[in-house]
């Protein structure tokens, strides 16, 4: 543990879901709804939510959407709606981060105007999962998702990606997925963090399996720290590991606990611990628990001037409070 700083970061966040509808049907998903069955979040309702958050130390608005099919006649409206939600969040003093599945060059270019960072889980690079958990998930084709990571690099978008662990992949598959991320990072340098998300069974999924084991998670963290460059943060969702395992994950090389919000939309059966509870537990074990922005400092220069200004103001606020990220 001595080779890593005794600081772990998190993003004070809230998740807005434009729609739960998704044309993919991953067998482990606890998030999606069938197309046409999930009303879209209105801007008026989003504004009410955001107003309620303005005095609650929330920085990041994660815009997390189900995927409207690329050939759907509603795709353009969907993309515009996501843009408008991000624009609204910005106007109310928050910093948006969007994860809405694979996007075209034009779609990513548009959303770059109103997002300080974006994300897409690689999940696993093996095509074998297309025969099992991703059998009915066209956008989970590994090449499609790898291309999205590279495209984000070309467009200089600060990016988050990650692995979903325990969905049928092998240890060799995990290594190859981490290698793929490392190679993309070597070329573009835009990946700011990699999430290692252990599969955790939920009530809504179509075929529940066994949870990803704690020892396998520690092994994967160590593997990731060996393969990925030190410029990439390593994120562990604190609601998906036992409290006693969290310190072990940090000792193994994890550096970040991701967005801490009232509700985990992807894993609704596993509520997030509160930030003050995590602070107390981590401080007791010798770790500093610090808030961060959804964009890491060395990527600020990539942002449009309007977003640079908003980010600069947030960095100043955190510095004045004495609570800020350390990189």
User: Cβ neighbours of residue 247 under 8 Å, at least 6 residues apart?
Assistant: 282, 285, 287
CA dist., res. 313 & res. 201, Å (int)? 40
The residue whose two tokens read 């009410």 is 48
Domains of the chain (ranges; CATH) run: 7-321 (3.20.20.70)
Phi, psi of 162 (to 5 degrees): 175, 175
pLDDT at residue 291, rounded to an integer: 96
- Residue-wise pLDDT for 283-322, tens only, equals 999 999 999 999 999 999 999 999 999 999 999 999 988 7
Q: Which residues of the chain have pLDDT under 70?
A: 1-5, 323-327
CA dist., res. 96 & res. 101, Å (int)? 16
User: Cβ neighbours of residue 294 under 8 Å, at least 6 residues apart?
Assistant: 11, 13, 59, 60, 62, 95, 96, 97, 116, 117, 259
> Residue 61's closest CA among 121, 102, 114, 105?
114
Alpha-carbon distances of 234 from 23, 68, 119, 172, 271, rounded to whole Å:
30, 30, 14, 19, 21
Residue pair 91/84 in contact (Cβ under 8 Å)? The answer is no
Residue pair 115/134 in contact (Cβ under 8 Å)? The answer is no
The residue whose two tokens read 């070329």 is 187
User: Cβ neighbours of residue 45 under 8 Å, at least 6 residues apart?
Assistant: none
Q: How many CB atoms lie within 10 A of CB 144?
A: 13
- Residue-wise pLDDT for 13-55, tens only, equals 999 999 999 999 999 999 999 999 999 999 999 999 999 999 9
CA dist., res. 317 & res. 213, Å (int)? 40
Helix and strand totals (H; E) in the chain: 9, 9
pLDDT at residue 77, rounded to an integer: 98
Which neighbouring-strand residues pair with 117? Answer: 97
> Residue 151's closest CA among 107, 85, 199, 115?
107
Helix axis angle, 43-53 to 75-91, nearest 10° = 30
pLDDT at residue 3, rounded to an integer: 46
Tokens read off for 275: 């930030």
H or E, element range at 221: helix 214-227
């Amino acid at each position: 543990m001595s080779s890593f700083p005794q600081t772990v970061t998190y993003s004070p966040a809230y998740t807005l879901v434009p729609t739960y509808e998704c044309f993919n049907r991953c067998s482990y998903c606890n998030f999606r709804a069938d197309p046409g069955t999930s009303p879209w979040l209105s801007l008026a309702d989003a504004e009410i939510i955001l107003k309620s958050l303005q005095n609650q130390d929330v920085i990041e608005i994660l815009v997390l959407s189900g995927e409207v099919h690329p050939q759907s006649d509603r795709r353009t409206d969907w993309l515009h709606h996501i843009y408008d939600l991000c624009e609204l969040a910005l106007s109310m003093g928050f910093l948006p981060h969007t994860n809405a599945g694979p996007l075209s060059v034009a779609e990513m270019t548009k959303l770059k105007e109103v997002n300080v960072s974006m994300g897409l889980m690689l999940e696993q690079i093996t095509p074998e999962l297309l025969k099992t958990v991703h059998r009915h998930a066209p956008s989970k084709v590994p090449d499609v998702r790898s291309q999205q990571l590279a495209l984000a690099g070309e467009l200089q978008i600060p990016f988050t990606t990650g692995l979903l662990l325990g969905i049928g992949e092998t240890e060799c598959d995990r290594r190859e997925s981490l290698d793929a991320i490392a190679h993309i990072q070597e070329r573009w340098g835009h990946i700011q963090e990699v999430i290692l998300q252990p599969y955790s069974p939920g009530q809504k999924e179509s075929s529940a399996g066994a949870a990803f084991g704690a020892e396998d998670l520690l092994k994967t963290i160590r593997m990731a720290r060996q393969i990925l460059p030190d410029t990439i943060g390593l994120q562990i969702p604190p609601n998906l590991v036992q409290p006693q395992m969290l310190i072990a994950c940090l000792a193994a090389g994890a550096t970040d606990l991701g967005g801490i919000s009232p509700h985990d939309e992807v894993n609704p059966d596993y509520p997030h611990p509160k930030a003050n509870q995590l602070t107390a537990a981590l401080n007791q074990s010798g770790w500093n628990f610090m808030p961060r922005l959804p964009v890491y400092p060395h990527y600020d220069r990539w942002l449009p001037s309007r977003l640079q200004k908003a980010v600069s103001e947030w960095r100043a606020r955190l510095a004045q409070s004495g609570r800020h990220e350390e990189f």
